[in-house]
Amino acid sequence: MRALALLVDRIVTLGTSGASDMPERAAVRDALRLLAARIREGAMLCRIIDGQFVLAGEAVDRGLTRDDPLLAGLLQRCFVHGVGGITVRQGAAPGELFTLASMLASAPRGDDVVPFSSDTPTTLSSIGAEPLPRELLRSWSVLVTPAERPTAHLLLTPAEGLAAISATMADGAGASPTVVALTRLASSHSDEAANAAVDQLVQLLDDAELRGEARVVEGIARACMAQLHAVGSGSTRLALERLLRRLQHRRTLELLGERLPEVPDRLQLLTLFARAGEIAVEILVNQLMRVQDATARRAYFDSIVSLDLGATLLFELVRDPRWFVVRNAVALLGEMGVEHADIAMLPLVAHEDDRIRIAVSRSLLRLGTVKALAGLHGLIDDRNAEVRRIAAAAYGLTSTASGSVRPPAARLAMALERETDEDVALEMLASLGRLGSADAVQRLLRIALPPQQPQDGTERPAPRESYLRVAAIESLIRARGQAVVPALEGLKNDPDPDVAAAAKRMDA
């Protein structure tokens, strides 16, 4: 967490000093490298609860935060931006980390509203003229969620809640037929009364479908799911089940799918979609492929993942000629962890489109199977830097499946000699440290130590760049611990101050 706070502080300082200040730009670069190194070691799961950081379920001492200017500043910026949670996946790309830090370092607009997010499904959770955002920042590996805003209203009774929800969805005043029918359903105490209300609601659904009134359909669906929860196994449940079967018609689900991105609390609708099975996933996938808005795409993506259905359809879409369809399909397969998805995706590692190869690489790394990691190892010389970075990270991972073996370090080391991208080179060094083989350690020592005088009398080569030597030292410590300290002892007096400082930290 402190590495993120340091990067945010450096970005703020760079903004006040000017973009042409080279020392400040170098400080930002070094802070970003530090944060990326920390994220390589593990994910960040942070929430802000009652004015303090909570990391992976453990509260950070208030005194520690108060006495550390960097942590105190980061906490204050989280308050200003209305941040309630920060989640960063292990191995997040440096660009994603920089975007996260830049968002926290930016000054909020004057019209910013503290966001609201509710994870608790309630009957009235969707009421509101303008629902506030569910997330402040979202990328493949980073999620920033808003702080929860305390609700001032009291929860209503089921009957009042059903009527209130429907009133916001239907056209007209509170005496609309939809509100009347839902109120009758909520107050029913016998099968006969409930069936009469359901008959009226079925007719209203038919009319709403003909007119394409998605909001009315949503109001009936949400009210029905809430009432089903309220009655449990009571006498009116059979009538409610009949209404639920009617709500699972294809056209009804299509209208509900149109409303899904607009609903702050999707749990009720997703429960209904889960009952419909594969047809619901097909509808949501079609919506995902058509929609242009990024927030709506994320809503459909998350909904499909939560349903955990439709693998057969996704396997078919992997062969679609449209690049964005393929990208979404492989991303879903990776996020859902579908069995045998690696076999379907591996042929795409040779695809001409960089966007598809990046999506495939991320999904294969997410799957982490023996075949997936082996496929990624072959991408270490890919023309795209992000694909190479993911391939390098795969070298440092070992599948949990039986029969998995660590890859040899030679190919990774040779790729490192040719690498020109700093972020990829750092990822390669970190993976060499995780491999920890004798060959990997020798390669790291050659980078960390000053070059030897050639025996042919030619001029001694210049040492590697400072950031590479520092990263090699850290990878050696990770690979062999204190056993490697004697070999690096001489670096404490290295002419490069950064290398010398890294060598002295070995004793800490």
Residues 394 and 412 grouped into a single domain? no
Query: Which of 129, 146, 163 lies at the terminal end of a domain, its last residue?
Result: 146
Q: How far apart are CA 122 and CA 248, in angstroms?
A: 22
Residues 12 and 138 grouped into a single domain? yes
Q: Is residue 189 part of a domain?
A: no
Residues 379 and 428 grouped into a single domain? no
Residues 110 and 131 grouped into a single domain? yes
- Asked if residue 430 has pLDDT above 90, the reply is yes
Question: Is residue 74 within 8 Å of 8, Cβ to Cβ?
Answer: yes
- Asked if residue 388 has pLDDT above 50, the reply is yes
Domain count, the chain: 3
- Asked if residue 333 has pLDDT above 90, the reply is yes
Tell me, what's the pLDDT at 378?
93
Residues 27 and 54 grouped into a single domain? yes
The residues that bridge with 54 in the sheet, in sequence order, are: 47, 59
Instruction: Please provide the average confidence, as pLDDT, over all residues in the chain.
Output: 83
Q: Is residue 455 part of a domain?
A: yes
The residues that bridge with 384 in the sheet, in sequence order, are: none
Q: How far apart are CA 28 and CA 14, in angstroms?
A: 8
State mean pLDDT over 94-122. Answer: 65
Q: Is residue 305 part of a domain?
A: no
Residues 453 and 474 grouped into a single domain? yes
pLDDT digits (tens, 9 = 90+) for 336-347: 998 889 999 999
9-13, 248-252, 482-486: least confident range: 482-486
pLDDT digits (tens, 9 = 90+) for 212-225: 989 889 888 888 88
Q: Is residue 156 part of a domain?
A: no
At 228, is the pLDDT very low, low, confident or very high (cuts 50, 70, 90)? Answer: confident
Q: Is residue 271 part of a domain?
A: no
Tell me, what's the pLDDT at 122?
28
29-38, 109-118, 192-201: least confident range: 109-118
At 505, is the pLDDT very low, low, confident or very high (cuts 50, 70, 90)? Answer: confident
Tell me, what's the pLDDT at 371?
92
Q: Is residue 198 part of a domain?
A: no
Q: Is residue 278 part of a domain?
A: no
Residues 390 and 415 grouped into a single domain? no
Question: Is residue 324 within 8 Å of 348, Cβ to Cβ?
Answer: no
Question: Is residue 172 within 8 Å of 161, Cβ to Cβ?
Answer: no
Residues 349 and 421 grouped into a single domain? no
Residues 7 and 123 grouped into a single domain? yes
Residues in the chain: 508
Helix pair angle (410-418, 422-435), 10° resolution: 160
**Tokens in use for 243?**
């209404």
Residues 424 and 398 grouped into a single domain? no
Query: Which of 350, 381, 407 lies at the terminal end of a domain, its last residue?
Result: 407
- Neighbour tally for 321: CB within 10 Å: 6
Query: Which distant-in-sequence residues (6+ apart) come within 8 Å of 275 by Cβ?
Result: 244, 248
Higher pLDDT, 126 or 41: 41
Structural domain that includes position 347: 310-407
CATH code assigned at 346: 1.25.10.10
Q: Is residue 353 part of a domain?
A: yes
Q: What is the pTM of this model?
A: 0.79
State mean pLDDT over 309-321. Answer: 90
Residues 345 and 425 grouped into a single domain? no
167-171, 176-180, 387-391, 452-456: least confident range: 167-171
**Tokens in use for 115?**
């966001």
Tell me, what's the pLDDT at 258?
92
At 127, is the pLDDT very low, low, confident or very high (cuts 50, 70, 90)? Answer: very low
Residues 330 and 355 grouped into a single domain? yes
Query: Which of 96, 116, 146 lies at the terminal end of a domain, its last residue?
Result: 146
